[in-house]
A = this chain, B = another copy of it.
Amino acid sequence: MIKLSGIFPPVPTAFDPDENLAVDKMRDNLRRLSKFDLAGFLILGSNGEKVMLSEREQREVLDSARAAITQNKLMLAGTGEQSTRATIDLTKAAAASGADAALVLNPSYYRGQMTAQALIAHYSEVADASPIPVIVYNMPACSGLDLTADIVIQLSRHSNIVGIKDSGGNISKIAEIVRGAEPGFQVLAGSASFLLPALSVGAVGGVLALANIAPRQCIEVLSSYHRGDLEKAREVQFSLIPLNQAITATGGVPALKAAMDHLGLYGGPSRSPLLPPDEDRLQAITRLLESHEIRI
């Protein structure tokens, strides 16, 4: 059984100044982040600008990433597409690239038709066909569709569906899922903003944009919690709030990339229509990174 406990950064895809893929830069970032006690990496997540990549580019990114991720770290691959068949194709490609598990965002374009029945059939077909374990990905801020606890609990019964990354942050629902899902079903917080409360109701870790720039702090929330030091856990959790607000919640991928640039990782541009942070936001980010003594 794959073990998802721990912290995973959702790795941005690197582009050169002309917005062309720069996989070497992504590999450099991965190597530098590998020295931290991270459980692994998510490739082709929302922060990885998956939806900005062509079919060919997605496969290239997966191959390149695996080459840079050591075998003691897990590689999760975002493989959710709008059609079941395309999701299966990409999941198989990810497995062939050496991904350890597929993180499958639900289809949502035809949200009026995405009944529980349709979603459960979709995930079941994908999990049946997938050579690697499937993790459900709930991301209402991007997909515009919020998976219910009931759907997730039903999916947890499939032997090849091993967990969920929940970015919605509805903590009552997270508790409901942990309580109702099959034993062993693993819940990952999808944002640093609710990591500690998610742990308090049984999450095993998180896929956190902030783990790209503040891996130490993200790991420390988890380790403090596990050794029972709730004061420390809360203190570090609180220190992540303004960072998360400025960088992830408000600024999005371009702000995360700007922060990476500031820390000496490669951030670079996002693909249009994503705009780079304006001067004010850039300065606010810089100031926050410095006042929080964030270093890689």
A142 surroundings in chain B (CB, below 8 A): 109-111
Cβ contact of A254, chosen from B19, B52, B113, B171, cutoff 8 A: B113
By DSSP majority rule, is chain A's interface helix, strand, loop, or mixed? helix
Q: How many identical chains are in the complex?
A: 4
**Pairwise interchain contact A234-B121, C-beta atoms closer than 8 A:** no
- A247 sits at the interface (CB 8 A): no
Shortest CB-to-CB span from A197 to chain B, Å, is 3
- A67 sits at the interface (CB 8 A): no
A169 surroundings in chain B (CB, below 8 A): 170-172
- A184-241 CB contacts (< 8 Å) to partner B: 191, 193-194, 196-202, 228, 230, 233-234, 237-238, 241
Q: Which of A29-37, A270-278, A283-291 contacts B (4 or more CB under 8 A)?
A: A270-278
Cβ contact of A273, chosen from B119, B199, B233, cutoff 8 A: B119
**Pairwise interchain contact A197-B170, C-beta atoms closer than 8 A:** no
Q: How large is the interface on A (under 10, 10 to 19, 20 to 34, 35 or more residues)?
A: 35 or more
Cβ contact of A252, chosen from B86, B113, B172, B198, cutoff 8 A: B113
**Pairwise interchain contact B172-A272, C-beta atoms closer than 8 A:** no
- A125 sits at the interface (CB 8 A): yes
- With A109-B142, A273-B119 as contacts: A175 and B201 at CB distance below 8 Å: no
A272 surroundings in chain B (CB, below 8 A): 83-85, 121-122, 125
**Pairwise interchain contact A234-B125, C-beta atoms closer than 8 A:** no
A200 surroundings in chain B (CB, below 8 A): 196-197, 199-200, 230, 233-234
**Pairwise interchain contact B238-A179, C-beta atoms closer than 8 A:** yes
> Can you list 29 A-B contacts with CB-CB less than 8 angstroms, sorted by A residue number?
A46-B109, A51-B82, A51-B109, A52-B83, A52-B86, A54-B55, A83-B271, A83-B273, A84-B271, A109-B142, A110-B252, A110-B274, A111-B141, A114-B273, A115-B275, A122-B273, A144-B144, A169-B171, A171-B171, A172-B191, A172-B193, A175-B194, A175-B238, A176-B241, A179-B241, A197-B197, A197-B201, A200-B233, A228-B230
List of 8 A-B pairs having minimum Cβ-Cβ separation, nearest first: A144-B144, A197-B197, A122-B273, A84-B272, A172-B193, A200-B200, A171-B171, A51-B82
